[in-house]
A and B are shown apart, each in its own frame.
Chain A
Amino acid sequence: MSTVIRAEGVRKLYGGGRAALDGFDLQVEQGTVHALLGPNGAGKTTAVRVMATLVRFDGGRMWLDGHRVDRHARWVRSRIGFVGQYAAVDEALSGRRNLEMFARLSHLGRARARRRAQELLEHFDLTGAAERAVRQYSGGMRRRLDLAAALVADPVVLFLDEPTTGLDPRSRARVWEAVRELVGRGTTVVLTTQYLEEADRLADRISVVRAGRVVAEGSPERLKERIGGGRVEVVVEPQDLALAEEVLGRVAGVLPRVEADQARVSVPAGDGALGLAKVVRALDEAGLVVEDVALRRPSLDEVFLSLTGEEGESDG
């Protein structure tokens, strides 16, 4: 796998000396979905806007497909697609005219631009509305057109800034589907999101962003493990609670957590499934009747909260 984007210590200062990016490091591998996950105001949007040449940065270095983003903006632009938070299409023009226009401004030439527009309209299921002005489109259709517009020049990297914010679940699922398909064809996708579910479902790697830098990075699975891995939870008959506590404590070598009202005892799973097996065997040997036993992984929400602090900053 080769690296498509590399950022080293990127800094971006806004007026008043506030740092939107403060030592931002990132490495994005080709053909993956990379999610920047974080609360409002964490710097995710600034990060993708810097990568997409929309915002200049003040310090550090950044490469896209082997070229310096700050020095070869036009070259970088010939390799990227960008979908911002607001549909960046011309409301007064038809869907087809929009796509043809963006294709021609990507220097595809008139004939190829026309073909490409037709392809994308078909692909995004917009042929029926192709000649209608975009202002008559529904929110979901508009999003799809916006995505299509970002794809006219077959970008190496596609940036999506909160691609599903404000969409209903069905439209959201369609956007996810489109992203997965793109990655299947080798496009690299960098997206920002506040939705843990979205990052979990779509991303191969997640970078958790807080206060202008990446505070944690890894696959969704790894990130969940980082927060102490899973716990083995055992539910027993209430009268067996003390015995279960003793057995679990012995197996895990730590003091178990007891929730007496639910007759639940839990310990860190250690080696995941292996830890679960050990616990089950020990309970069996002790002759305990087990109501329920499970290996519970922390949700990404818990990861998120523990890594970004309890409250997201509210300014966007």
Chain B
Amino acid sequence: MGEAVAERSGPAVWERARWMVADTWVVAGRYLSHLVRKPDEVVGTLLIPVLAVLLFGFVFGEAMGAVLGEGADYREFLMPGLFALTMAFGIGNTTIAVVTDVGRGVVDRFRTLPMAPSALLAGRSVADVVSALVDLAVLVFMGWLIGWQWHNGPWAALAALGLLLWLRLAFTWIGIWLGLVVRSPEAAMKFFSLVFPLAMVAETFVPVHTMPGWLVPVAEWNPLSATVVAARELFGNPGGAGQGWMAEHAVWVALVWPAVLLAVFVPLAVGRFRRMSR
């Protein structure tokens, strides 16, 4: 326990980085065992996308297909949208977990330990990305059941999944920040109802160019849209080759958007966490 005495010397920086990683991993392990012990949370997250597969894929599916043009399969179009939707819904779980921890005083215990303070937040985001991997695996299987598949080989498909997880990582930090800002799980739920329209006004369910003109730029610049279009392109699903600058550079935008979100929300969340001691 003597290492902290040499707080500002050279090797201590390296030592601290090592502890930061170790601590992050321990905290991530904590949240991941929650998933094992509370499988209802996983089921809850997947419920909406799975229902959406059935609803949009089959109930609206035939009518929607007409929008896409001759021969296009709406269910092929739909699945990448639902993958991204699930990434967005993860925000709710993150926010509720963080706000509950703060309320129960668990965070106080962590804050009196000689651990790296931001490891608590980083650990949560790592756990979220891992659990998103589970969500995606379930949805990919679901898609396979209804006839969705990728057409550009496994590497392009993995790249698409990577972009989705990259988006999830960015959303995780929005969730962490919200969890530190709101005061109760009930308040968090109210924020969560905003996620739904945000997830709809995007490429998720219909091509953006079918929306009224004034809505197009909003939907186009929605961080969700770039990832959805890029994923469709990489999977080789219809709707991938969209129109406009955004659609043509979808993969790049899907890389940059989450980076921008991270650049904004990581400092916000860490700053907010530090200010808890005021």
Using a CB–CB cutoff of 8 Å, the interface residues on chain A facing chain B are 52-56, 72, 74-75, 77-82, 84-93, 97, 101-102, 104-107, 133, 149-150, 153
In the bound complex, residues from chain B placing their C-beta under 8 Å from that of A97 are 33
**Which residue of chain A lies nearest to B100 when distances are taken between CB atoms in the complex?**
A91
How many interface residues does chain B have, given as a range?
A: 20 to 34
Whether B108 and A84, one on each chain, are in contact in the complex, defined by CB atoms closer than 8 angstroms, is yes
In the bound complex, residues from chain B placing their C-beta under 8 Å from that of A81 are 112
Whether A52 and B4, one on each chain, are in contact in the complex, defined by CB atoms closer than 8 angstroms, is no
Interface residues of B in 1-43 (CB under 8 A from A): 1, 3-5, 7, 19, 22-23, 26-27, 29-30, 33-34, 37-38
In the bound complex, residues from chain A placing their C-beta under 8 Å from that of B194 are none
Whether B33 and A77, one on each chain, are in contact in the complex, defined by CB atoms closer than 8 angstroms, is no
Q: Which of B105, B111, B115 contacts A107 (CB 8 A)?
A: B115
Whether A53 and B111, one on each chain, are in contact in the complex, defined by CB atoms closer than 8 angstroms, is yes
**Which residue of chain B lies nearest to A152 when distances are taken between CB atoms in the complex?**
B113
Asked if A80 meets B112 with Cβ closer than 8 Å, knowing A55-B277, A107-B1, the reply is: yes
Whether B114 and A107, one on each chain, are in contact in the complex, defined by CB atoms closer than 8 angstroms, is yes
Please provide the 6 A-B residue pairs with the shortest distance between their CB atoms, ordered closest to farther.
A88-B109, A78-B114, A82-B112, A86-B105, A88-B105, A77-B114
CA gap between A101 and B106 in the complex, in Å: 12
CA gap between A236 and B30 in the complex, in Å: 71
Interface residues of B in 84-111 (CB under 8 A from A): 104-106, 108-111
In the bound complex, residues from chain A placing their C-beta under 8 Å from that of B23 are 105
CA gap between A106 and B22 in the complex, in Å: 11
CA gap between A72 and B114 in the complex, in Å: 11
Asked if A102 meets B106 with Cβ closer than 8 Å, knowing A78-B4, A93-B30, A107-B1, the reply is: no
Q: Which of A78, A88, A91 contacts B1 (CB 8 A)?
A: A78
Whether A88 and B26, one on each chain, are in contact in the complex, defined by CB atoms closer than 8 angstroms, is no
CA gap between A88 and B3 in the complex, in Å: 26
Give the interface SS of chain B, mostly helix, strand, loop or mixed.
Answer: helix
Asked if A84 meets B1 with Cβ closer than 8 Å, knowing A92-B38, A101-B26, the reply is: no
Closest CB in chain A relative to B23 CB, distance in Å? 6
CA gap between A82 and B109 in the complex, in Å: 7
Whether A102 and B113, one on each chain, are in contact in the complex, defined by CB atoms closer than 8 angstroms, is yes
**Which residue of chain A lies nearest to B33 when distances are taken between CB atoms in the complex?**
A93
CA gap between A12 and B11 in the complex, in Å: 35
**Which residue of chain A lies nearest to B27 when distances are taken between CB atoms in the complex?**
A105
Whether B1 and A89, one on each chain, are in contact in the complex, defined by CB atoms closer than 8 angstroms, is no
Whether B104 and A86, one on each chain, are in contact in the complex, defined by CB atoms closer than 8 angstroms, is yes
CA gap between A77 and B108 in the complex, in Å: 12
Whether A74 and B114, one on each chain, are in contact in the complex, defined by CB atoms closer than 8 angstroms, is yes
- B278 on interface, CB distance cutoff 8 Å: yes
Whether B112 and A52, one on each chain, are in contact in the complex, defined by CB atoms closer than 8 angstroms, is yes
20 residue pairs bridging A and B, Cβ less than 8 Å apart: A52-B112, A53-B112, A54-B277, A56-B278, A72-B7, A74-B114, A82-B109, A88-B109, A90-B30, A92-B33, A92-B38, A93-B33, A97-B33, A101-B30, A105-B110, A106-B1, A107-B3, A107-B114, A107-B115, A150-B109
**Which residue of chain A lies nearest to B123 when distances are taken between CB atoms in the complex?**
A105
Whether B113 and A77, one on each chain, are in contact in the complex, defined by CB atoms closer than 8 angstroms, is yes
CA gap between A114 and B29 in the complex, in Å: 15
Whether A77 and B112, one on each chain, are in contact in the complex, defined by CB atoms closer than 8 angstroms, is yes
Whether A89 and B114, one on each chain, are in contact in the complex, defined by CB atoms closer than 8 angstroms, is no
- What per-residue 1/0 map shows which CB atoms of B246-278 lie under 8 Å from chain A? 000000000000000000000000000000011
**Which residue of chain B lies nearest to A108 when distances are taken between CB atoms in the complex?**
B1
Closest CB in chain A relative to B234 CB, distance in Å? 37
Closest CB in chain B relative to A156 CB, distance in Å? 10
Closest CB in chain B relative to A113 CB, distance in Å? 9
Asked if A90 meets B277 with Cβ closer than 8 Å, knowing A74-B7, A106-B115, the reply is: no
* Other contacts beyond A74-B4, A153-B113: 19, CB < 8 A: A52-B112, A53-B112, A53-B277, A54-B108, A54-B112, A72-B4, A74-B114, A77-B113, A86-B104, A89-B106, A91-B104, A101-B29, A105-B113, A106-B1, A107-B1, A107-B3, A107-B19, A107-B115, A133-B37
Whether B114 and A90, one on each chain, are in contact in the complex, defined by CB atoms closer than 8 angstroms, is no
In the bound complex, residues from chain A placing their C-beta under 8 Å from that of B38 are 92
CA gap between A88 and B120 in the complex, in Å: 15
In the bound complex, residues from chain A placing their C-beta under 8 Å from that of B113 are 77, 102, 105-106, 153
In the bound complex, residues from chain A placing their C-beta under 8 Å from that of B19 are 107
CA gap between A257 and B19 in the complex, in Å: 69
Closest CB in chain A relative to B112 CB, distance in Å? 4
In the bound complex, residues from chain B placing their C-beta under 8 Å from that of A105 are 23, 26-27, 110, 113, 115
Closest CB in chain A relative to B31 CB, distance in Å? 10
Closest CB in chain B relative to A9 CB, distance in Å? 19
CA gap between A80 and B27 in the complex, in Å: 20
Closest CB in chain B relative to A88 CB, distance in Å? 4
Whether B37 and A92, one on each chain, are in contact in the complex, defined by CB atoms closer than 8 angstroms, is yes
Q: Which of B106, B111, B115 contacts A90 (CB 8 A)?
A: B106
**Which residue of chain A lies nearest to B35 when distances are taken between CB atoms in the complex?**
A92
Whether B108 and A88, one on each chain, are in contact in the complex, defined by CB atoms closer than 8 angstroms, is yes
In the bound complex, residues from chain B placing their C-beta under 8 Å from that of A77 are 112-114
CA gap between A153 and B29 in the complex, in Å: 20
Asked if A88 meets B114 with Cβ closer than 8 Å, knowing A75-B7, A93-B33, the reply is: no
